[in-house]
Amino acid sequence: MIDPAQIVYLNGRFVPLGEASVPVLDRGFIYGDGVYEVVPVYARQSFRLPQHLARLAHSLAGVRMDNPHTDAQWEAIIGDLVARQPYADQAVYFQVTRGVARRDHSFPKGVAPTVFMMANPLPLPTREQVERGVAVVTAADNRWHRCDLKTISLVGNVLLRQLATDAGAAETMLFREGFLTEASASNVLVVSGGTVVVPPKDQHILPGITYDATIEFARAVGVPVVTRPVPQAEALAADELWLSSSTKEVLAITSVDGKPFAGGAPGPVFRKVWESFQRHKPRAR
Ligand SMILES: Cc1ncc(COP(=O)(O)O)c(C=O)c1O
């Protein structure tokens, strides 16, 4: 539900959502020419903000845009926005577009970027999703070759996610040329013989902040992790499959393409690492 009274941030001002508007010639609207971030906030404490800001800088550099703020400025704006919301656990969304200009593909000169930020309630997984796992469908990864950039041009991801929604599943797990990449809005981790195997952070996956956190929290409880390309056949025959993202944390996949996967229940390695994740993250309210 859209709450027009929700306070959001637009170009230096905090305004009610119902009053926040952007000209139709914004390059975000015309071309999807911009980048974004989503930072989870637990009990008003952001989780891994420096890592999210580093990824934002990587995305901005990748699309040849200047960063409009220093990390300290981003942190201050986010802190201010978070303090203005009535809920303690939040998902802070922020995006930077190349600004408003006459429509022409080439970069405009001397145009200020558009900066928009909102903080919604953090939609953490339900207890049932944690305990029973979630379903995925599989599809060919037909997105572009710069999936490491978190751009707002998401129509490829949107179409892939809709395949899952159409099938009543949570996510679409993607394969490119016979190898696992990620899912439409999550990373995918594989467990084989007690070891977590993760695809390398190359240009075909988003370098997930939760992917890194999950790897760290797995190692913290003695679970080995290796990084290497994962063939499709190996992923689909794995002992366990997990999804990770800022709003899912880590979730077990228990159904693939309509068939129960790995006994149809979250596995023992998942339970151990999920518990480690819960112990390490800032405490939710
Ligand atoms: C395509 C894609 N991969 C992976 C992720 C997970 O990234 P993070 O853990 O930083 O939320 C996301 C998050 O939205 C995503 O859109």
pLDDT reported for residue 285: 54
The 10s digit of each residue's pLDDT in 75-94 is 999 999 999 999 999 999 99
The arithmetic mean of pLDDT across residues 125-129, rounded, is 97
Closest Cα to atom 16 of ligand 1: 185
Here the tokens at position 282 are 């800032």
pLDDT reported for residue 52: 98
The 10s digit of each residue's pLDDT in 253-280 is 999 999 999 999 999 999 999 999 999 9
- 282 pLDDT band, cuts 50/70/90, is confident
C-alpha pair distances (Å), 145 with each of 12, 148, 180, 202, 203: 33, 8, 14, 10, 6
- 283 pLDDT band, cuts 50/70/90, is confident
With a 6 Å cutoff on the Cβ, whether 210 touches ligand 1 is yes
The 10s digit of each residue's pLDDT in 144-171 is 999 999 999 999 999 999 999 999 999 9
Ligand 1 centroid to Cα of residue 153, in Å, is: 14
Helix (H, G, I), strand (E, B) or coil at 19: helix
Here the tokens at position 43 are 């009990």
Identify the burial level of 276 via C-beta atoms within 10 angstroms of its C-beta, where 0-12 means exposed, 13-18 middle and 19 or more buried.
buried
Looking at the chain, the whole-number percentage of residues with pLDDT higher than 70 is 99
The 10s digit of each residue's pLDDT in 54-71 is 999 999 999 999 999 999
Domains and CATH numbers, the chain: 7-121 (3.30.470.10), 127-280 (3.20.10.10)
Instruction: List all residues 6 or more positions away from 206 whose beta carbon is below 8 Å from its beta carbon.
Output: 147, 148, 150, 182, 187
Q: Are 244 and 250 in contact (CB under 8 A)?
A: yes
Is residue 248 annotated as part of the catalytic site, yes or no? no
With a 6 Å cutoff on the Cβ, whether 172 touches ligand 1 is no
Q: Is the dihedral of CA 58, 60, 64, 65 positive or negative?
A: negative
Residue 210 has pLDDT above 60, yes or no: yes
